[in-house]
Structure 1
Amino acid sequence: MSTLLDGRVAIVTGAGRGIGRAHALELARHGASVVVNDYGVSLSGEGTGETPAESVVAEIEAMGGQAVANAADVADFAAAEAMVHQAVEVFGGLDILVNNAGFVRDRMLVNTSEEEWDAVIRVHLKGHFAPLRHAGAYWRAEAKAGRTRAARVVNTSSGAGLQGSIGQATYSAAKAGIAGLTLVAAAELGRYGVTVNAIAPVARTRMTEGAFDTSAMPEPEDNSPLVAWLASEDAGDVTGRVIEIEGGTITLENAWAHGPSRDNGTRWSATDLGPVVRDLIASAPAPEPVYGA
């Protein structure tokens, strides 16, 4: 086993299957003690009665690592707080938070129900906010007590959130929100020794199978080395970044940046703006096409 994360304590949400499971195993291989969180739900978020987190804990223990299962609903504010407390109580602290939990309920925009919108936004966006909020509060308290930790957060966005994806308006909105949350959290938590980054992984999982041909897609574990490095003390100079990873290809996203502008010196007239806006668009790079367009 590697010593890259030796002595460090991690929480990985949605770690019972797919990408989250791969992250938990990879962190453990590099020496981290892992809280393996999984609520045990189906692809669309319904309860299944399964306990996949326990299976991942067994895998980690079989390789000689340390892990404990957690079945919290990560979008439940109190349960997320208890999950952070569990890491501290069982392993003596918390250094790494990998927010990964989520599910999909894909629909074209005009077919999306209010319940589907609320469920997907809740698990992805609030499910990132709640653990991050409580972990951040813990790290702030540690820093104020003179025990600043080299803390790391790795959030999970998606190409659907960065470029958009037809049939996934809700999922895309949630994942775009996670990218924005990452930027703000990085700026706010840096003073406490915390870095906050996001990955946009591409892999063959139960979320992608059936939606399109996944035969050429990387395996979930192909994304995890990047997570392990971002979780390490060596990555302390990298924060506020969104990185897309597809197997052996890593792409640093440029995110929103100011493009060409025109200053009128006074309030614009609506009837004058057509040529101005079109001129600005013509002088700017064309946006990448929405997936499925």
Structure 2
Amino acid sequence: MKKKIYILHENNEWTNHLIKRLEELNLPYESWHLDKGIVNLQEVPPEGIFYNRMSASSHTRDHRYAPELTGAVIDWLEFHGRKVLNGSNALRLELSKVKQYTQLERFGIQTPKTVAAVGKDHILEAAKSLNMTPFITKHNRAGKGLGVQLFYSLEALKEYLNGPNYEEPVDGITLIQQYIKSPESLITRVEFVGGKNIYSVRVDTSEGFELCPADACQIGDLFCPAGEQPQMRSKFEIVENPRKDLIEKYSKFLSANGIDVAGIEFIVDENGTAYTYDVNTNTNYNSDAEAKAQQFGMLELAKLLGNELEKL
């Protein structure tokens, strides 16, 4: 059987852009849509290169157990010595911001003060222990800004927890986190392919905290913890990133955690302090920003997968 590139995922809309690039480069591939399926541990997996782009937000597309199935598939592949880009450890980081923050801090990368809690009473206690206002809540296993809410008081949080709009996290873990305000309503997303920084994209968050750059990503208005004043500028723009020291730390963090492809987001406060708050291991790219800068993330990813396949 001819060796191929295998894409492990649960969202065709996010995968089509990569498939287009693979076809442009005439690379053999197969798509494994893992929302449901079977893992036969008695069988030997095919030869090839496997790329995991499972998303923490899969449950919002009615693919509740896709990450668990993908985890089982990757364990099977790794047991048989198959090369998996963004393998089992990358998947664990994708599914837990707690794991992200502890690993980021291990490499000297500052994250917002955060307390994790399970249960409404404990969420309230966690907010008290954080001892700062305003603060935000978010889901531990999330994506697309899920569960992000701003609170100016403990009373407001209590009302939310006991009200009809409370969102239960899919893994039960809610994070109570230090609020970081950007004076310019901006965050920066640093993109890596093959462990190398390909570019940074500045994201205008003035109209909401929906930061997924994919063209198909639309979930409506969500709270923006980076500011609220709208400005006339491109929502996504590829820029020169002056934080070279941060990029170097990110590279070491990714290498140590077995992450080959990622987008890492940080926000800078009024004092110029950078806080890193999200690691996305199934990163997408914005076509308008890339066309303007003539830099293409999915093309770089397709080349990486092709090079890995050639090594076999």
Does TM, scored on the shorter chain, surpass 0.5?
no
Question: If the length of structure 2 is used for normalisation, what is the TM-score?
Answer: 0.33
More helix by share: 1
Could you say which structure has the greater relative contact order, defined with CA pairs below 8 angstroms and 6 or more residues apart? 2
| TM-score, normalised via structure 1 length | 0.34
Judging by fraction of residues, say which structure has more strand: 2
